[in-house]
């Protein structure tokens, strides 16, 4: 398959993901206040809200949605943390998308992803889905 077709397919798939989660149901001012407090108290970290996408049919759930993550780790390192919390088997692949439906490269620093995709409330929203890679 041509690279552009793969990219278009991934973008269309990302656009089908629901963008609303429980945390976003809280009043905007409360979320904004919480993110401001976190950034002041921990200037070297960012708040990330992670939720299972509506297109993920596997029975995998995180035990929490909010993560306080160092700015200097890569997306690959963050994916490793999420995989461990999900207790995924080696044959399961996990994909994470930002609120803008982009798939960040694993080599990108969390600080770069945060700066490019931060929500108005000060949190970075990410969604995960999984797929069996071997049959």
| Number of domains composing the chain | 1
**Residues 81-97 pLDDT 10s:** 999 998 888 788 888 99
The dihedrals phi and psi of 108, each to the nearest 5 degrees, come to: -70, 140
Helical axes 110-117 vs 75-86, angle rounded to 10°:
90
pLDDT tens digits along 25-48: 788 999 999 999 999 999 999 999
Longest CA–CA separation in the chain, Å: 48
Which residue carries 């970075």 as its tokens? 124
Three-state DSSP state, 91: coil
What residues form DSSP beta bridges with 97? 127
Residue 70 is part of which domain span?
A: 3-132
**Interatomic CA distance for residues 92 and 56, integer angstroms:** 12
pTM of the predicted protein model: 0.78
Q: What is the CATH number of the domain that holds 111?
A: 3.10.20.90
């Amino acid at each position: 398959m041509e690279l552009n077709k793969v990219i278009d397919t991934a973008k269309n798939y990302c656009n089908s993901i629901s963008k609303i989660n429980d945390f976003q149901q809280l009043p905007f001012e409360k979320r904004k206040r919480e993110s401001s407090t976190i950034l002041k108290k921990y200037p070297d970290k960012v708040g990330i809200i992670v939720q299972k996408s509506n297109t993920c049919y596997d029975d995998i759930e995180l035990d929490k949605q909010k993560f306080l993550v160092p700015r200097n780790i890569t997306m690959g390192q963050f994916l490793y943390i999420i995989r461990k919390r999900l207790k995924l088997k080696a044959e399961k692949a996990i994909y994470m998308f930002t609120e803008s439906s982009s798939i960040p490269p694993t080599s990108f620093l969390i600080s770069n992803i945060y700066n490019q995709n931060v929500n108005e409330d000060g949190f970075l929203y990410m969604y995960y889905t999984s797929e069996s890679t071997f049959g």
